[in-house]
Amino acid sequence: MSSQPIQRRIGKSGISASAVGLGTWAIGGWMWGGTDEAASIRAIEASIEAGISLIDTAPAYGLGRSEEIVGKAIRGKRDKIVIATKCGLNWHSGKGNHFFDQDGIPVHRYLGADGIAYEVEQSLKRLGTDHIDLYITHWQDPTTPITETMEALRKLKADGKILAIGASNLSVDDLHQYIAAGGLDAIQERYSALDREIEASMLPLAMRNDIATLSYSSLALGLLTGSIDPSREFTGDDQRLGNPRFSPANREKIARLKAAIAPIAGKHEASMAQVMIAWTLTQPGITFALCGARNPEQAIENARAGEIRLDADDLAALDAALATHLVAMDA
C-alpha cells in the first residue's frame, strides 16, 4: 500500500478531502457504551497524521460531546481539516417532530430557519472554528418545507459560516426536492456491502447532479471488520446489543467471508476492514467512506485503506465472496 490516499471533491463546492473520512458517532459515546475522551483525541490526531482530512461529526452524538472532543483534537490543525457536521436534531426547543430521547432528554427533528441559525452557532463554539466546511441536515423534518431549510442554509453560506451544503437520511422524494431548491453539494447515507439499497435509487440521481455521496456505517457498525468474535457480548446502551445482524450465526458468516477474501487481503498486505473500505470506494456514486475509530490503531488502519487500489480481478473475487457469504444477514 504505497499509493497516496485518494482525494475527492465534495460536489460543486470546490472542496476536496480524503476519500476515507473519520466518523465520530462512537466518539460521542451515545449508543456505543460511553466514550474515553483521551483515547478519542488520540484517535483523531492519529487519523490526521495518517492523511485523513475529512472528519464527520454531529451535535446529536452525545448531545454535543462528539463536537467538543473533535474541537479539542483539531486545535492548531484546523487548516488541515474538512469538517462536516450537522443540524436538525434539536433538544433546545420543543419545535418539530419528536424523534427519540437521549439520556432522558427529548430530541426533535427540526429544520426551521430559527433552529438552524441557533444550532450553527452552538456547533461553531463546540468545534472552536469560525466556519463549517460541510453542513448537513441530519434527519429530515416533516414539519418544515425543504425550501425553507435550504433558504436558511444558503444564507449561512452567503455569510461564510458554512462552505457547502449536505443532507442525510433522505427519501428519493426528499432528494428531488433538495435538488429543485438548488445548492446541494452532498448527501450522506448508510451504505456498506450489507446495505446497498441506495444503489438503484439515490446514487444515480446524485451522480447525474454532481452531488457527492458520503457513506456512513461503511463497515456495518464494525461487523465487516471481521474482528468481532462470535462469543463477544455487547452491554449497556450499545446499539449492537440485540441487533440480529450481530447474532453468533452471522458472525460465523463474516468469519467465512474473511477467510474467502484472505488472498486479496494478503495481496494488498491489508486487513479485512481495509479491503471492505477500499471496495466501498470503488462503488459507482460513493465518493467518501466514513469509518469510525476509537483509538489510534483503528484510525491508522482505516486511513491506510485509502491507499489500496483494487483491480478488476480483486473486485470480481470480492463480489463473488460477498454474494456467497452475506446471505440473510437480517433474518
Residues 280, 322 contacting (CB under 8 angstroms): no
C-alpha cell, 101: 430521547
Cell of 73: 483534537
> Phi and psi dihedrals of 85, rounded to 5?
-140, -175
Task: Tell me, rounded to whole angstroms, the distance of Cα 44 from its chain centroid.
Answer: 15
The Cα 242–Cα 244 span in angstroms is 6
Task: Please say whether the beta carbons of 271 and 219 come within 8 A.
Answer: no
Burial class of 269 by CB neighbour count within 10 A (0 to 12, 13 to 18, 19+):
exposed
Respond yes or no: is residue 118 known to be catalytic.
no
SS3 call for 2? coil
Cα angle for residues 191, 110, 56 (degrees, 5° grid)? 40
Cα within 13 Å of Cα(91), Cβ side: 16
How far apart CA 1 and CA 58 sit, in angstroms, is: 32
Cell of 14: 470546490
Q: Which of 61, 110, 135, 191 is catalytic?
A: 61
Interatomic CA distance for residues 132 and 130, integer angstroms = 7
Residue 167 phi, psi (nearest 5)? -145, 145
Task: Report the interhelical angle of 296-305 vs 272-282 (nearest 10°).
Answer: 40
Q: Which of 324, 260, 307, 224 is nearest to 5 (CA)?
A: 307
* Amino acid at position 140, single letter: Q
Positions marked catalytic: 61
